[in-house]
Structures are given as structure tokens and as C-alpha cells.
Amino acid sequence: ARGCQCSQGVITVPLLFRRLLDRSTGYTNDSLVAHLVETGAITQGHIEAAFRAVDRGKFLPNLEEGTSEVYDDAPVRFGHFHMSQPSLYAEAVANLDLRRGLSFLNVGSGTGYLSSIVAEIAGPGLHHGVDLYSDLLDHAQEMLHVQKKEYIQFFEVNAHDLDLVMCPRYDRMYLGACAGGQSKRLLALLQVGGIAVGPFETSSGQYIRRVLRTSETTFDVKNLKQVSFGRLLPSEEPMRRPSFVLPSPPWTPSTHAAHSKGFRSAVREVLLCTTHVNSPAHIVPRDIFVKHVFGFMHPRWFSSATEAPFRERLDGAEEQPMDDEGTYDEDSARLQVLRTLAMFARQQRDLEAQESDDAVRSRIQSLFRMLNPNLGHMAHTGPDSDEEDAEESAAERNPSTAEGRLNGGYPATG
């Protein structure tokens, strides 16, 4: 396309068209990934390989042949089939610090595109996604079946209806919609040492955040970029106790370290009891507990949701209550902006009116002075100037001068 000729004779591309060019990458998934690498959105080889292995276009249903928009670095939406900008996903994957064997929860899993990319890096393991739309979940499950990733499980449930006590904890979590206020309690599903990435509401707007859980109640937080996302929808039954429980992996010696501290302590106590002659557990062979009993115990039986308020440390600053943030309300913020603008408009109007009155008064005074300097002086309603005070003093010292002024500025005649 041709650029526009500017007045200096330099050919430039209009800003809007330039932005479209920046996002346009071609007609294939490989061209999209190449664009992400060239622009610096992807800087690590294993992330590049994961994005190349998962064709973005195949995760959108009923896509017309030759459609290139799906391979642009831009959000795509068909009804409630929605994908965020690929460069944003790339940044999220990089900040999740994925490794083989880590568990993953995708809140608002959508088409399953991001879940599939994460699975390329983390491999088989505990991997769940939750969303609200059954057709979306069916489509995602079908796509992942084609990719032989049946270990990824999707569930039709509102995230606010998850039982935070009985659901498993995850090493990594991604939020596909904005969390604020009580939605931040979903961070209870993170393991200590786990990382969550996603949009969060703060007192100054929405930000993609990287949240590292450092203890049962504290989190290190880093703001990555300011964004605008839809909010996580509230529960349809907010007064009802959340009861949906995502399945937990059974205990085995190889998964022992991934279970909660309370569960590990219970296993250790039972095994120690088998070594004491006076303990009832002593009569049961250890293999019975290891091979049959522990595997049937729910991993969260010996854990509880943290009741203490969460606290966060933003970019290394002092800790503060996490719930103090998330009070940002877009409608209230807009109303406050409108009120501020209205107040500013009133001030400007009053100022302009004041300036207008002064200008009219000045023009009238000028007219009076042209017709009669004395009338012009009498018409002045503001504070006397130093010049006028000096003229009055001179008139008192020289009556003839004053008399001349009373005669239109000409000397009086006898």
C-alpha cells in the first residue's frame, strides 16, 4: 500500500495502518511464530517450539480457508470463542517459568489453545481447565484429543464455585479474565512456591501480574503491563457454599512431595506408627498403607483453606493487605472522571466569564476616555492605579491643570 505524502516530502505510513502491519504476520502458524520471535515477544527456544507445535488456527471452529486474521498478533473472537493476543500469551508463558512435571490450572480455559502450549512444556501431569460454556469445553477437549493430550481435563464450572479447601493445589495458574476483590481468593489454589499470571484489578486499573506465593498468606507481585479484560463472572449462587471439587491425583511415593504439608505429615505419622509395637497400626503391614490406604485418602483431607487475609509485596515494596486492592470499579472511576471534568468546565466557564467582564469593562473605559478622559476615570470601578494617584496629586498642586481637564483637556478661557 502507498504511504501518504507529508508536507516535508517524506513518505510515511499512517499510524493506524502501521499498527495493522505490525500485527499482520501472514497466513500460517509458522509465520506467526516467526513474527513473535522477530519482535522479541518470544526469546526462549522451548517457548518457540511450543508455539510452533500448536497451530492457533486449528483451535477456532468453522474457520474459512485462507483466513489470515487468526495468524495476526491480535485478539480473535467468534461469539464466545475467544483468544487473546499471541504476544500476550507468549509473555504469560515466559513469566509462568514452566518446567516438566508441573501441575497447571487454566481459569477461563476457552478453546484450550494456551493449555495445549503449556502442555508442550510441562508434559503429562495434573492439568485442569475451567470455563462456563459447554460447547467451548467440548471443542477444546476435541482439539486436545487430536493432539493426544487427553490428560488435560476441562470442567464446566464457575471459578467462584470451586471448593478452595478440597480442590488440589497447583504449581502454576493462568487467569483468562480479570480477578479483583474476592476473586483473588482463587490464589488459595496455588502451591507455596507456585506462580499465577493473569489480569488483576488494582486501585489504579487492570494489570497483567506475576504472582509468586511465598507462604500460606503472602505473595510477591509484579505488574507486567496495563490491560483491559472482562471480569471473572460472579457465581450465580453467591450465598451458597462453593462445592465443586476438581479431582486430585492419588497419592503415590513418587507424588508425595507434590501433596500438601498436612497430607505429607499424616502419611509420615502413620508410617511412624507402624514401627511402634504398642500402636494399633503396627499390626497392619506397611505395604497395605502405601499401596492401598494412602492412595484412597483425599489429598486435601489434612489441609484447610487459609482464613488469614492475603498480603502482597508489590515490586519489592512493603507488604500490604491484598484485599485493599481490587477496589477499582470501572464505572465509579468513569463517574469520578466525569465529575472532575464537569468541575473543570465550570471553573473554565467562570474564568472566561470573568475575563469577558474585564474585557468589556476595559473597552467601555477606553471609549469613555476617547470621549472624555474624566468620564473614563469616573467609570473605572477597580482599584486606583499608581498613575491615577499621581495625576490626582498633581491636580491638587496645580488647580489650573485640573480645570483644564474639566474643559475637555483644553485651557480654560476667560
Q: Which long-range contacts (CB under 8 A, 24 or more apart) does 208-215 make?
A: 208/88, 208/91, 208/92, 210/95, 211/187, 211/312, 213/187, 214/313
CA 313 from chain centre, in angstroms, equals 17
**Beta strands 205-213 and 190-202: pairing type?**
antiparallel
Grade residue 363 by pLDDT with cuts at 50, 70 and 90.
Answer: low
Q: Which residues are catalytic, by number? A: 84
pLDDT digits (tens, 9 = 90+) for 72-116: 999 988 777 889 999 999 999 999 999 999 999 999 999 999 999
| Contact yes or no for 223/199 (Cβ under 8 A) | no
Average pLDDT over every residue of 241-253: 85
Q: How far is CA 193 from CA 4, 171, 224, 301, in A?
A: 53, 7, 19, 21
How high is the mean pLDDT of the chain?
A: 78
What gap in Å lies between CA 173 and CA 311, rounded to an integer?
Answer: 18
Cβ neighbours of residue 328 closer than 8 Å, sequence gap 6 or more: 180, 201, 202, 203, 204, 205, 206
pTM equals 0.68
E strands, 124-281, in order: 127-131, 152-156, 170-175, 190-202, 205-213, 218-226
Conformational region of residue 164, where left means phi above 0, alpha means psi within -120 to 50, and beta covers everything else: alpha
- State the pLDDT at residue 360: 67
C-alpha grid cell, residue 243: 462445592
Average pLDDT over every residue of 149-162: 95
| Contact yes or no for 165/300 (Cβ under 8 A) | yes
Domain boundaries, the chain: 253-296, 338-406
- State the pLDDT at residue 23: 52
pLDDT digits (tens, 9 = 90+) for 22-56: 455 668 999 999 999 999 999 999 999 999 999 99
